[in-house]
A and B are shown apart, each in its own frame.
Chain A
Amino acid sequence: MRCEQVRVELHSYVSGDVSPTLAESIKTHLGECQGCTREADAVRTIGAAVARGIKAWVDEGECPPGLAEQIQSIIHPDRPKLSRLAVWVTTSSLITAVAAGLFLLLLGTRPDLNDQMLGLPLVGALANRLNPPDFVQGKISLGSTDSLSQLSGTVRTFNRTFEQHGLTVTVHRVQLTPSHTQVQFSVQGLQNVKLLTTSLFEFILYGPDGPLLLHGFSGDIRSDKIMFKAYFDPIKSGFPRKFSMWVMPKVKNESLTWELGKDRRAPPVGPQASVVSWNHDGQTANVTVLWPVEYAYRVGGWKATDGLGNTYPVKEGLHATGSGAMIQQLLIEVPDHVVPVWLTASWVEYYERGPWEIPLSD
Chain B
Amino acid sequence: MSPEERFFALYKPEQGRLYRTAWAILGNEADAGDALQEATIRAYRAFGQLNGGAAAFPQWIRRILVNTCTQILRKRMRVIPVERPEDLRDELTTADLELALDGDVWDAVRSLDERYRAVVVLRFLNDMQLDDIATALDIPLGTVKSRLHTALKLLRSKLQGEESTRRGAV
With A63-B16, A76-B4: A46-B166 Cβ-Cβ less than 8 Å: no
Tell me which residues across on chain B come within 8 A of A42, comparing CB atoms: 95, 99, 156
Q: Is the CB of A53 within 8 A of B149?
A: no
**A9: which B residues are within 8 A, CB to CB?**
145
Stretch at the interface among A91-99, A242-250, A337-345, A346-354: A91-99
Query: Which residues in A have their C-beta under 8 angstroms from that of B100?
Result: 179
Within 8 A of A (CB), among B50-85: 72, 75-76, 79-81
Known: A67-B36, A70-B37. A97 touches B101 (CB 8 A): no
Residues of B within 8 A of A53 (CB): 101, 103-106, 109
A238, chain B: closest CB distance, angstroms: 16
Bitwise, A18-49 to B at CB < 8 A (1) or not (0) is 00000000000000000100110111011101
User: Is A234 within 8 A of B170, CB to CB?
Assistant: yes
Alpha-carbon separation in the docked complex, A215 to B104 (Å) = 15
- Which chain A positions have C-beta within 8 A of B89? none
The distance in angstroms between the C-alpha atoms of A3 and B79, with both chains bound, is 33
List A contacts of B107 (CB < 8 A).
120-121, 218
Q: State whether B19 touches A61 (Cβ < 8 A).
A: yes
Q: Do residues B105 and A94 form an inter-chain contact, with CB atoms below 8 A?
A: no
Main secondary structure of the interface of A (DSSP, over half): helix
Interface size class of chain A, counting residues whose CB lies under 8 Å from the partner chain: 35 or more
Q: A49-B105, A53-B106, A71-B40 are in contact. Are A61 and B20 (CB under 8 A)?
A: yes
Given contacts A38-B95, A49-B99, A57-B20, is CB(A179)–CB(B169) below 8 Å? yes
B152 near A11 with CB under 8 A, answer yes
A282 within 8 A of partner (CB)? no
B25 CB to nearest chain A CB (Å): 10
Cα distance A35–B165 in the bound complex, in angstroms: 25
A98 and B79 form a contact (CB under 8 A): yes
Chain B residues closer than 8 Å to A113, beta-carbon distance = none
B152 contacts across to A, CB distance below 8 A = 11, 43, 46-47, 50
Distance between Cα atoms of A315 and B54 in the complex (Å): 40
Total contacts A to B, CB within 8 angstroms?
169
Q: By the criterion CB–CB under 8 Å, are B166 and A58 in contact?
A: no
Residues of A within 8 A of B170 (CB): 178-179, 234
Interface members, chain A 205-220 (any B CB < 8 Å) = 213, 215-216, 218, 220
When distances are taken between beta carbons in the complex, the residues of chain B under 8 Å from A70 are 37
Q: B129 contacts which chain A residues (CB < 8 A)?
A: 17
Q: Which residue on chain B has the smallest CB distance to residue A43?
A: B152
A120/B124 contact (C-beta < 8 A), A8-B149, A71-B37, A74-B41 known: no
Shortest distance in angstroms between B16's beta carbon and chain A's nearest beta carbon? 4
Most buried by A among B12, B17, B80: B17
- For B96, the closest partner residue in chain A by CB is A38
- 20 A-B pairs with CB atoms under 8 Å apart are A11-B123, A12-B130, A12-B145, A38-B96, A46-B99, A50-B120, A50-B152, A52-B105, A53-B103, A54-B106, A55-B124, A60-B20, A62-B16, A63-B16, A64-B19, A67-B19, A67-B33, A71-B41, A93-B31, A229-B103
Q: Nearest 9 pairs between A and B by C-beta? A: A53-B105, A61-B20, A42-B95, A49-B101, A179-B166, A51-B124, A38-B95, A61-B16, A180-B166
User: Which residues from chain B sit less than 8 Å from chain A, CB to CB?
Assistant: 4, 7-8, 12, 15-21, 23-24, 28-31, 33-34, 36-37, 40-41, 44, 72, 75-76, 79-81, 93-96, 99-101, 103-107, 109-111, 120-121, 123-125, 127, 129-130, 145-146, 148-149, 152, 155-156, 159, 163, 165-167, 169-170
Chain A residues with CB under 8 Å of chain B are: 7-12, 17, 35, 38-39, 41-43, 45-47, 49-64, 67-68, 70-72, 74-76, 90, 93-94, 97-98, 101-102, 120-121, 177-180, 213, 215-216, 218, 220-221, 229, 231, 233-234, 318
